[in-house]
Amino acid sequence: MSPSLQFIPGFASTYWPPYPPGGSMSSQHLIHTLRLVALIEGLSWLALIGTMIFEGFTGQHEPVSWAGRVHGGLFTVFALVLFWAWRQLAWSRKFALLIGFSSIAPFGFLFADPFLRRKLAELEQ
């Protein structure tokens, strides 16, 4: 477990379980990774919106520029992990698009998480 995620009780065990022995990523671990990346990407989207509002009041453009770069990088990571999960887990195109489009709307990651939890529960049975 990453020491940087231990400051929130239960966060690390919910979103980032211990890496499986043998070094290969299991299907469950891949879904956990996607959930974690979606959460961080969604929070960066909200931060970007917040900095745009801040810019409207103060006229400072630099925070928007930095938040935009961070969010763009995290969105790229999210898209790559989603593509990897779609191919690795043989998800339908419709399901992958649903998860992908959920990252466009603010708070969309909260919409996608129950679907990902359901897929995780199916794998654990």
Give yes or no for residue 1 having a pLDDT over 50.
Answer: no
70 assigned to some structural domain: yes
- In this structure, the dihedral spanned by the alpha carbons of residues 100, 104, 107 and 112, taken in order and rounded to 10 degrees, is -10
61 assigned to some structural domain: yes
Query: What pLDDT, on a 0 to 100 scale, did the predictor assign at position 10?
Result: 55
5 assigned to some structural domain: no
Over the Cα atoms of the chain, what is R_g?
A: 16
Residues of the chain by 3-state class (helix, strand, coil), percent to 5: 75, 0, 25
58 assigned to some structural domain: yes
1 assigned to some structural domain: no
Q: Mind listing the pLDDT tens digit for each residue in 87-105?
A: 989 999 999 999 999 988 8
Range of the domain at 46: 26-124
Lookup: tokens for 47? 């931060």
Counting the structural domains of the chain, the total is 1
**Mean pLDDT, to the nearest integer, of 39-60?**
94
